[in-house]
Structures are given as C-alpha cells and as structure tokens.
Structure 1
C-alpha cells in the first residue's frame, strides 16, 4: 500500500470521518474507493440496492477527474455485478444523465459540483435519491474551493443526510479547506497528514528551465521535442500552454509540422476530451498532447516521459501539479519550463525546488516552415489565440508588467509564429480587456 492508503484505510473502514492531506499521484483514489465499496457491500444485501441506490457521493473539481474516479470504481467493482458507478458531469445531456442515474445501478455517484447542484434543483427525484447517501467524499478539496465551488458545495451538503461518513482529501489545507471541513466533517474527525512524510512527486523529476528570447520561443520548443523524440523511442509528452485557445493553435501548428499531436482543453466537447484522454492514457508511446490546465491535476497518464510548460504558470502550485503528470508511481520523469526574459522572476517562487538551467538547444530557423503551414490553419483559431494571450498576460498575477508592455510583447509573440502583423481584435473585446487607447 502507499502511505495514504495505509494511513486512511483502517480509519475509513471503522466509519471515522477523515481529513487527509495527500499529494496527487499517491494512490488516494483507491484509498477512498476500496473502503467505500467494502462499506456498501456490508451495509445491505444486493436485493435492496435499487430501491434507493446512491450510497456514496464523490465530488471532484473537474470532469476528467470525476470520470477517472468513476472508471476506477467500476474496475474495483468488476466482480460485483449488482453494483454500479455513474457520473454527473457537465458537457452532456443533463436529462439523459439523470435518467441513467435513476435507472441503472448507481451505488457510487461521482460528479462535479455544478452538475450535481443542477440535478438537485431540476431533476425530478434526484434529491430523494441522495437521501440514501452514507458516505460523502470531497476529492481535491483545495482545488474545489480554488475554483469557486464553495457555495455549490454548501447547497449540496444541505441535500445530504446529516448522519453520514465524510472523507475529505486535499493536497494542501488552507483556511478555505479548514472552513469547509468544519461544515462537512464531524468535530471528532481524524486528521491524516502524509505530505510531510511522503516523497514529493516532483522530487522524482529531473527539472530544467530555459529563458529564451521571444522570437525564439517556438523554435526552442520545436528543438526540445525533436531531441526528446530522437533519444526516447517510446516518447509520451505533455505540453502545457497558458490558455485553451493557445493550446488549440499550438496543437494545430505542430500537427501541420508533422508531429503526432493530440489536444485537450475546455474548448473541446466532453465526448472528444474523454476519447483523447483515454487514447493518451492507454498509448504505449509515440504521442505528444498539447493541453491546457484541464490535465494539470490528478489525471493519471502512465509513463509520461516529458512535461513541457511553455509560458509562465498561473502560480507555483500550478507548476508543481503540471509537473506531477510525470515521475509518478516511483518512476523518473523529465520536466522543462520555457520562459521569456520578462517571465524569469517567476523562478523566485521555485527557489526551494531543485530546478536547473538547461543548455538552450540548437535553434533552427523555422520562419519558412511556419509561413508555409499557417495559411492552412483556420485563422479564427489564430485570432482567438492572440486575444487569449493578451487576456492571460494583462491579468497575470505572477508578473508585474504594464499593459503597454504586454501589447508590445504580444506583437513580438505573434511575429515569432510566422505572422507579419497581429490580427485585428473587435473594439468591444479591446475595451473589455482594458486595452482601449493602447491596442486600437
């Protein structure tokens, strides 16, 4: 067993409420699912399950995490045909989803806060189904609260039986998590801290950073990927970009340049995201996935050989969570952070992490290649990427740069992708970004 499993399994099986501090990638999903399934099996015989089926409710911050937990539950219940796990997530028909939850075996329901609250308020009979919940699990609680779900969680808690067991798993315990734990957990709950004792996931990763000129950023990424592919036949690479629209554009560019590329971000449908996520998870190598932060936390992609982060992360924690997609389950991994000179101050936030400066790879002149492929890419994707870049950096809390400078840098950024001039942006959008009189 992993440390978090060894520490929490006995307590959960005894029926204790548990607040567990545990890093992602340490086996915590099994830590809460296994005893939950055991408790369900011990509580009532199978014939009564369908009368009021939901025994355990798992709340996750993102669709991908919810689906991953549901698949894990179904795997663990493989030899219990009378049991089932369903999901309540956005991105699909809420009516069909509620019907499926009602009609199919659903002892464990895994959902995201927004969709769960929508079902409680609008799906006939759903609130009654929740009256049978015996175990509530809040997974990645700090992220749930970072994403602004406190009000949703409070409303969901009101719909659940007060007599229940509650498990709260979180990588960090800020005051917001303490606050929600006081609301959800019994006063005599058990606190388990495996973070202080466990090896940090990122300690298993060889970390490097490169500070490169704006005009070379794209070419440096190109060289890093080419070099990694050359030395790692079973390469499996995640490239994190700052926004969904930038992810889409970078993926399109690299696809046209001949790389085997997939992309995943919030602009894609849930069906697409699920298919691509499963494909990347199950592939044995030879694939690069460009991604926004939908893949940053908790998602288990085995055997990722390299994580590249291009552009300054929103926060130190984001850097660590992204990096945690490699070097998992005791395996080694590699991470590269590519920054522009004016993003370099972010490194001060990583001063306690072992990250060294990499030798900048040999940079090729890609201008002709870029000019030859950008004409084949839908220009609306490029325009959205440019707007998105401006929006991200004008509001970046980890940097202190004025808006005039951001606009100047944005034009250099666009030139580095092979364009002679930046795309036109609607006046209303310029105004909303606070760039009136600067950009127009």
Structure 2
C-alpha cells in the first residue's frame, strides 16, 4: 500500500499555483518551501521560462506535490510534454494568484486552457485577488462553479491604514513635454540630497520603451547630480528576457552605492522584489489607481525621508482629479522644487559631512562602504547648474528611430485611457504627438490621417474636441468635475 502511495505521489501533481510573472512565481515558491519543509517527503516544483530541461528532469524523476508556475509556461508544457500532461491529470487543487494582474497582462486564454485541462468535477479552485474588476468577474464565471463562495479576508476586522497613506505624495504638472527629463533629474538630485548616502529612487514609466530610452538619457545627465557619475542606473521592463529581468532586480536590490536609480514599467512585481527605496516617481499616469497605490507602498525604507512624486503633463490632469482623488497630494511646482534643491545644495557645499547621516561617516571609518562612493564631491550647486547645458548637448545625440518607437508605444498606452483622462482621443493623440519634445526633438510626431480614421475620428472634429477640453479644464490648467464647473459659474454670477 505504501509503495502504491509513493508511486502515486511521484506520478501526479497535488496542487497547482498559477501567478502572473516569473518573479512572482519564484517568490511564491520560496514561501511555499518554508511550509512544505515541515512535512516529510513533500516537494515543490517551480516551472518558469528559461530552464526547461532542468525543470522537466526534476519533474519526471522526483515528487511533484506542489507546482508553481505561470499560465503560459504550464500551458506550453501541457500541450507539448506528454509526461507532464499525465502528471497533471489528477490534480486536486488549482490556485490562481494575483488574478487581476494576470488578466491585465492578457493571460486569460492561458488561464482558461490550463483550467480546461485539469479534472473539473474533483478539483477545488481558488482565485485570489486584491480587486474585483469587470474582467475578473467575467473570468470567475468560467473558472469557478456557479455556486462558488466569495470570502473577504478583512470582513469583520478593522482595516488598518494603507501603507501609502503614510507616504508624502506630491504632484507636478509640467507645462511642456520638454520639461520631463530636466524635472526627473532634479527629483533624483533632490532625493540624493534629502537622503544622502542611502538614496534609492524608483521611476515608473508608462511603457517599456520609455524606461529603456530614459535610462539612456538620465545616464547622460548624471554628471549634474550631487553624486555625479557615481549614480548607478538600472532598468527592468518587458523588453528584457526573464533571466535578464531577474539579474537586473538582483543587481538593483544589492546595489551598495547609496545613489541608485531604477526605471521600470512592470506592473506585476511586488514590494519585496523591489526592496526598500526612498522615493517613488510615477512618470505619466499609472495603469490604474490600484497599481499606483501598490507602487508608492514600496517606499518603505525605515527612517528615510519617504516621498512619492506624480509627474504629469497638462492633458493628463484629469486622471489626478477623477481617478486618484483619494490620495492626499500636495502640489509641487517646478519653481518650488528648484528653490528646495538650491537650499539643499548650499547646505551640502557648506559642510558635506554634516549633510550625511551620522551612520554613514561611521560606516566609512570602518571601511565597510567605500568613501568615494558615499561621499559627494565638492561643488554640488555648480554641478546642478550644468543640467541645462547637458540637456542641450544631449539633443543632437538623440536616436530619432528610438523616439519614434517610443512614441508609438505611448499611443498604444494612452489611447485606451482617454476615458480615465476625461478627454477625447484627439486630445490624447495631440499630447503624444508633442511628447518627442521631451527627448529634445523639434516639432511634433506625425500621425497619418488613416490612423486617425481607423480610430473613428475625423480631423474636422478637432475644434469641437478642443473646445470640450477647454470646458473641462475651466481655462485654469486643471481638470474639474462638471459639478465643480457649474458651481464656479454660479459663484461668478
């Protein structure tokens, strides 16, 4: 009897956990290992992209009590590996982790395919999510039985404050797209001076192309920063292979420089994978209010001057007013940032050691952290003053093809979000057409009339759309709800 049980456990999977990304699957596997180690003989298999032969060898020769992987990877193995398919045929439990994110990433077909293969009558299915979106409700009808149960883990319990409620949040509306790169550089400089010796800045961008392009640009502008060329830049986005993303995250988390910057467009990575940081910068609108809240919750470095900055262009203001209304934003103009930066730079130049926390010089004295990395060179204010010159020198070196590809990615990102922005698609297209100026190019990008026509818009409607936009912003450069607009007019009367 024991031999038969042993053969069964070696030949069949007990629990399957599907999650959104390779990184999230690795995180779950590490946590699950701590649990299964308490039970003698229990083993776990992690199935992600990039290690097919090794994974299949372990799967075929060892126990497979718990399998953790991504929907696409599991589906691929089910369709192409007979041994794997036979091992999954008697699975008793299927768990979908972070389901809303999987649906956002377009993994619905893979989820359905895996669910359809597993034995339905004898299977228990769990769906875990932090938000009940419409796509998720639709998926529930397919993935769960009609008499499924909904369990709210916080029901009957006082809900503690959200982590993001403790983070100081600021928003800046830039007058021109060409102000984006200089403003980002100043925000990085501000954090290096506010958290000297321990600055860790994460910049979230709308698309992977923006993260890739702006990483290159910011490296060129780095000499104007307080830490100068010692500032390290990292990037994590979908254009990297899974193994490259994992390596980049590891390098970022273990970066000892005290002045590091990470640019990312990922929406599925969790706080633990990013590690502690001192500042979150959201460039452009985030994918959703929930994702923005998750992102700024990652600014969790103890005893640091925590801050989150939302940097928008004028046509993006509607998202701030309508979607992020629950967040306690404080306005931060470019002039205010410049004044604060000047004061911090003067303080640093007057006594560099006094601007660093006491622990940093003490650590340097023990040779635990190289002083040449942690300590700012003299002349911080003078370096900051070189930013306009460096930006002008960058413009002739810009790769126009890379900018055009990035512009196309922005169109794909922003056009579906015109409803969240409370503007027409024509306004969104015009805003994206102006964006190449952020990279120092002259003039706007070209969008063919055929492309506009396919979106169901005609050029003759532009004036009416522009008029509607002016009504929405009330002629004051900020989006307002219709009720607020009517109240303003009644007050004037």
If the length of structure 1 is used for normalisation, what is the TM-score?
A: 0.75
> Does the aligned pair in 1 maintain the 2:403–2:436 contact within 8 Å?
no
Deviations 1:285-324, CA, capped at 9 Å, x for gaps: 5321100034565663231221110112233223223223
Correspondent of 1:384 among 392, 395, 405: 405
Mapped contact 1:136–1:164 kept (Cα < 8 A): yes
Which residues of structure 1 form unaligned runs of 5+?
A: 1-42
Q: Which has the higher helix share?
A: 2
Instruction: Say whether 1:235 aligns with 2:199.
Output: yes
State whether residues 247 and 291 of structure 1, in contact with CA within 8 Å, keep that contact through their aligned partners in structure 2: yes
For normalisation by structure 2, the TM-score amounts to 0.68
Matches of 1:74 and 1:429, distance apart in 2: 51
Count of equivalent residues: 395
Corresponding residue for 1:204? 166
In the TM superposition, what are the counterparts of 1:30-429 in structure 2 within 5 Å?
48=7, 51-74=10-33, 83-90=42-49, 92=50, 97-103=55-61, 105-161=63-119, 162-174=121-133, 176-178=135-137, 180-181=139-140, 183-184=143-144, 187=147, 189=149, 191-194=151-154, 197-214=159-176, 215-232=178-195, 233-258=197-222, 259-283=231-255, 285-295=258-268, 300-327=273-300, 333-348=306-321, 349-360=323-334, 361-362=337-338, 366-373=387-394, 379-397=400-418, 398-402=420-424, 405-406=427-428, 408-421=430-443
Which structure would you say has the larger RCO, counting Cα contacts within 8 Å and 6 or more residues apart? 1
Structure 1 pair 228–431 and aligned structure 2 pair: CA distance change class (3 A) = same
Q: Alpha-carbon deviation of 1:239?
A: 0.4
Residue 13 of structure 2: SS of its match in structure 1? coil
Poorly superposed stretches of 4+, deviation over 6 Å = 43-46, 78-81, 328-332, 423-438
SS of equivalent residue, structure 1 residue 304: coil
Separation in structure 2 between the aligned mates of residue 242 and residue 78 of structure 1, nearest angstrom: 41
Unaligned residue ranges in structure 2 (runs of 5+): 223-230, 340-384, 461-493
- Find the aligned partners of 1:104 and 1:290 in 2 and give their Cα distance: 40
Q: Tell me, yes or no, if the aligned pair for 2:433 and 2:447 is still in contact at 8 Å.
A: no
Whole-Å separation in 2 of the counterparts to 1:159 and 1:110: 16
Give deviations 1:344-396, integer Å, cap 9, x for gaps: 11112222222222353118674431343455565543332122233333333
Question: Max radius of gyration: which structure?
Answer: 2
1:134 Cα deviation after fit:
3.4
1-structure distance, mates of 2:398, 2:111: 42
Per-residue Cα deviation, 1:121-169 (whole angstroms, up to 9, x for no partner): 2222222111343332211122233444444323322322443443322
